[in-house]
Amino acid sequence: MASGGRYGEYADGGRYAERAPAHLSRADAEIIRLGEQITHWRGVLAAMETTGAHRAWTRDHFRVGDEAHILATWYPVVRVNAKSLTVPPLVFGGERRFNDAGKDVWTDTAPYDKVYGRRRNGNVLHTPPPPADATCVIALPVETFDPQAAVEQDLHLCPRPPVARLTIRHDGTSCGCVGLCQISEPEPARQAPNAPWTQTILLCAEHVTDYRTADHEAGLHPPAVTWEDLT
């Protein structure tokens, strides 16, 4: 076989040399397409991070004594590492095994992309907490002393830090919106007009009572609604 194996047949003088430009053109087009997709989804994730809708778990979100949701089971955090959490043996479902000296005889590690929740002091977060500079999303009117501007007041977001996060996965049914959430267009960039979409509401201590109904207190919210205490 010629040097370079089968690929040598596409080089100058090879039996398929005339096909090489077409193959290279298709490969270049695919590289460009994939690059555009990567850029797009990085932008989507960055936008979700700024709103607190999604962030990646990191070592900054955990401490020893927390519990991490891994493989549908809660595991106590034994050690926090740069790229993973050290937990008791995964095959034992979170049960720690100690030797006579009180040391763990067996531990496993789980990378942060395999962690799906944190439990601390009874509070459960399904996704990481919002950024440190996140604020309440309730819009407040800007005070004005111009009587002619009273009808068209500007709005600004409440500057207080959030203490709770309400996540609603709108699908028209399980979100409790009776289909109304699918009528309007919440996100102009969305391709399908009736596609499910997620709404994240960050609430400060002052505005949390506007959303914390008796049903929320009793945990009776619709299945697609998640209420999380951020304190």
Residue pLDDT, tens place only, 175-230? 888 888 877 555 544 555 567 888 889 999 999 888 776 556 656 677 888 889 99
100-109, 136-145, 182-191, 205-214: which has the minimum mean pLDDT? 182-191
What contacts 44, CB < 8 A, 6 or more positions away?
none
Q: Average pLDDT over the chain, rounded to whole?
A: 81
Give how far Cα 69 sits from Cα of 65, 124, 143, 168, 217, Å.
Answer: 13, 10, 45, 21, 23
pLDDT score of 1 more than 50:
no
**98 touches 105 (CB < 8 A):** yes
149-158 long-range contacts (CB < 8 A, ≥24 apart) are: 158/204, 158/206, 158/207
- pTM value is 0.66
H or E stretch covering 46: helix 20-51
Residues forming beta bridges with residue 74, ordered by sequence position: 69
pLDDT for position 7:
55
**109 touches 33 (CB < 8 A):** no
pLDDT for position 2:
45
Helix (H, G, I), strand (E, B) or coil at 164: strand
